[in-house]
Amino acid sequence: MSKNLKIIESGEILDLQARHIPCPKSQKEFAIDVLIGLSHSPKRLPCKYIYDERGSLLFERIIACPEYYLTDCEVEILRTYKEEILSKVGGGKINLVELGAGSGEKTKILLQEMIAGNIDVTFIPIDISSSAIRDSTDSLKEQIPGIKIKGLVSEYFKGIRWLSNLDRCTNVILFLGSNIGNFEPAEADVFLSSLWNACNDGDYLFIGFDLKKDIRLLLNAYNDSGGVTAEFNLNLLRRINNELGGDFNLEEFQYYSTFDAISGAIKSYLISQRKQNVVIDEINRLFFFKSWESIHTESSYKFLVDDIVKLASRNGFEIIEHFFDSKNYFVDSLWQVKKE
């Protein structure tokens, strides 16, 4: 283990981060990314910064919106195919590794099935936020008594590399919810090849993709009638105000999302409704907005099965099976790492 890795074993949480949140390094990165993004033409901001505590709560509310079909589809897939999925990954010792600590609802379906089938499983959520890890491990411990959980506070690849060197369990990595769709295509390749590098030969990736479908359904999912998705995107500007001393007037920005048929993504924007200047103290900058100028805040790529097949093969994975929901809106795809 390198010297600057501080490992704190507190209960069942291992902390591989050198520093805790609030982390000056991550604040600096936030400031630099905002500076780069708002200096770019056209303006853009990385969607990962939507997710502070408020942003994560808003995302939970999006999941509950009737228009946002993705989560229901994935839950249906897990409930329908849980036995089949587990039979594919074999019966040895398994680390069920979840990238990003979610609410645990979906993971619970697989964990309960594994425990009922006497599979020797340890659940390992990996996230850089220790509070997110703490929340997800606490609630699962309560709901599934006797479950083995090791929360890992770490960057994804560092955490997986650490696990891969630790023991000879099979890692089954979960990357659910079509999170892969929030990467630009080149970033998705970098992400998957880095994941491949961090894994051992024979490890599995169980990865969710939202499929291309009727455009009206796609648009509705990102334009919920309650305005939750708009609030979720505006949270980016709220964070800049709160953490970097920005003076964005949120009322002056309109949320807009559209389907870009060429790239195959829902593209989300915040649009300045008038000509205005915005000052951000922390980076010592004034940004000028023309009226109706946009900030790109998020891409949510939608896939064809053929895109998924190519993505897997060019990054060193073999597809074991695709699991679809009954409407064919979503697919969870089981891939295996091939190194030999």
Residues forming contacts to ligand AVI in the complex (CB under 6 A) are 62, 70, 177-179, 181-182, 222, 229, 232, 298, 300
Give me 121's structure tokens.
């499983």
Of 15 and 231, which CB lies nearer to ligand AVI in the complex structure? 231
Is residue 70 left, alpha or beta, with left meaning phi > 0 and alpha meaning psi from -120 to 50?
A: alpha
3-state secondary structure of 88: helix
Residue 280, strand partner residues = 246, 285
Of 70 and 89, which CB lies nearer to ligand AVI in the complex structure? 70
Residues near 16 by Cβ (< 8 Å), separated by ≥ 6? 5, 6, 7, 152, 153, 154, 155, 158, 159, 162
Cβ 300 to ligand AVI, closest distance in Å?
3
Cβ 268 to ligand AVI, closest distance in Å?
7
**Is residue 337 a contact partner of residue 200, using CB atoms and an 8 Å limit?**
yes
Of 284 and 328, which CB lies nearer to ligand AVI in the complex structure? 328
Cβ 138 to ligand AVI, closest distance in Å?
22
**Is residue 172 a contact partner of residue 96, using CB atoms and an 8 Å limit?**
yes
Smallest CA-to-CA distance from 73 within 2, 201, 176, 224 is with 176
Give me 328's structure tokens.
């064919």
Cβ 271 to ligand AVI, closest distance in Å?
16
Of 279 and 304, which CB lies nearer to ligand AVI in the complex structure? 304
Of 179 and 193, which CB lies nearer to ligand AVI in the complex structure? 179
Cβ 98 to ligand AVI, closest distance in Å?
14
3-state secondary structure of 312: helix
Largest CA distance in the chain: 63
Of 130 and 178, which CB lies nearer to ligand AVI in the complex structure? 178
**Residue whose entry in the numeric block shows the structure tokens 């305005």:** 227
**Residue whose entry in the numeric block shows the structure tokens 């099979």:** 170
Cβ 139 to ligand AVI, closest distance in Å?
20
Smallest CA-to-CA distance from 174 within 332, 38, 7, 339 is with 332
- Position of minimal CB gap to ligand AVI: 300
Cβ 204 to ligand AVI, closest distance in Å?
21
Of 70 and 278, which CB lies nearer to ligand AVI in the complex structure? 70
Give me 100's structure tokens.
């990003």
Of 232 and 253, which CB lies nearer to ligand AVI in the complex structure? 232
Q: How far is CA 229 from CA 102, 182, 232, 279, in A?
A: 18, 15, 5, 25
Cβ 64 to ligand AVI, closest distance in Å?
12
Other Cβ atoms closer than 10 A to 119: 18
